Amino acid sequence: MAEMDSQSSLAAVRTLARQIIANVNQVIIGKQATVELVVIGLLSQGHLLIEDVPGVGKTMLARSLALSTGCTFGRLQFTPDMLPSDVTGVSIFNQATRQFEYQPGAVMSQILLVDEINRATPKTQSALLEAMEERQVTVDGVTHPLPQPFMVLATQNPVEYEGTFPLPEAQLDRFFFRVSLGYPSLWDEMEMMSRQQFQHPIETLRAVISVEELLAAQEAIKSVHVSQSLREYIVRLVRRTRDHSDVYLGASPRGSLALFRGGQARAALEGRDFVLPDDIKALAVSALAHRLILAPGARLREQKSEAVVTQLLEEIPVPESAPARR
């Protein structure tokens, strides 16, 4: 009976996830793979870093995700003069009650868009750390829990653009995936014109699931089976990033956990109650590349961390045995 309940829950997760993806695709055209990664991150209770040039739809992606799931939406436009209190909120003295009252910041949202995170100073960037990891903020010694679900979608322009502050390693490691949208194709850009001729599709977008259904789905994916051999494959892959000659600092255990949970979510999205090696291989670059710090020699050769992860995927043998269902 418990197994039947688990399978029915996972079937509901697949239906729910497909509804979200189809709804977001009304706004974000021709980026099916990226939208799927974002939904996998949402189901896995992770935070996403969206790195791309301006104007390709990063902000619209975050807004359409919040609208599709019925979640509250907050936005922070990071600038060099932004203060940490602009993120977390402040305590203001109420003269009528003679007490300090907490005025929430934008972080008190279920889907939080942090636009151009690399334009704020490191001090303000670090104000997000507690919220992202602990899902709470502390203001004047008082801890305030964040609403559930809670997801940060941070956008970042490439570092070669002027006026940016590179994210510190501790901040990068707290992002579940790093994804990129890229420029649309010729036909997708023409379709974009047609859809926005009279009004933007975001203006008519409606929720397709409830917050309660989303929370239930986040719990349901935890029952997806990951075989012992596949767990070993994940750990071997992450450990090899620490020994690679082109890598100065490899992926932390958070990388292993991201592949583990992300694999469960992707399997549920595909209608399976077990994870396959293909799930891990499909997510590896998005889950690990941003966690690597390349050695100086590799940077001089303009080596990319994505290429390192791809090379390791080709070198490390994949488990041969089929995953056994529970």
Region 136-154: mean pLDDT is 89
Looking at per-residue confidence, does 76 or 122 come out higher?
76
**Per-residue confidence (pLDDT) for residue 1, from 0 to 100:** 38
**Exposed, middle or buried, 191 (CB in 10 Å: 0-12/13-18/19+)?**
middle
Q: Do 249 and 206 contact (CB within 8 A), yes or no?
A: no
pLDDT digits (tens, 9 = 90+) for 198-242: 888 898 899 999 999 999 999 999 999 999 999 999 999 999 999
Region 117-133: mean pLDDT is 83
pLDDT digits (tens, 9 = 90+) for 257-281: 999 999 999 999 999 999 999 999 9
Confidence of residue 160 (pLDDT cuts 50, 70, 90): low
The mean pLDDT value of the chain amounts to 88
Region 232-258: mean pLDDT is 93
Q: Do 258 and 306 contact (CB within 8 A), yes or no?
A: no
Task: Return the sign of the alpha-carbon dihedral for residues 301, 302, 303, 305.
Answer: positive
Q: For 224-315, CATH number? A: 1.10.8.80
Full-model pTM = 0.90
Count of positions (residues) in the chain = 326
Q: Are 2-220 and 224-315 the same fold in CATH?
A: no
Confidence of residue 93 (pLDDT cuts 50, 70, 90): confident
Looking at per-residue confidence, does 169 or 160 come out higher?
169
**Per-residue confidence (pLDDT) for residue 170, from 0 to 100:** 77
Residue 326 reports pLDDT greater than 50: no
State how far the Cα of 229 lies from the Cα of 243, in Å rounded to an integer: 21
**DSSP codes, 207-222:** -SS-HHHHHHHHHHGG
Checking DSSP bridges between strand 89-94 and strand 99-104, what pairing results, if any? Answer: antiparallel
Structural domain boundaries in the chain: 2-220, 224-315
Topology, domain 2-220: Rossmann fold (3.40.50)
Region 13-41: mean pLDDT is 93
**Per-residue confidence (pLDDT) for residue 112, from 0 to 100:** 93
What percent of the chain is predicted at pLDDT more than 90?
A: 54
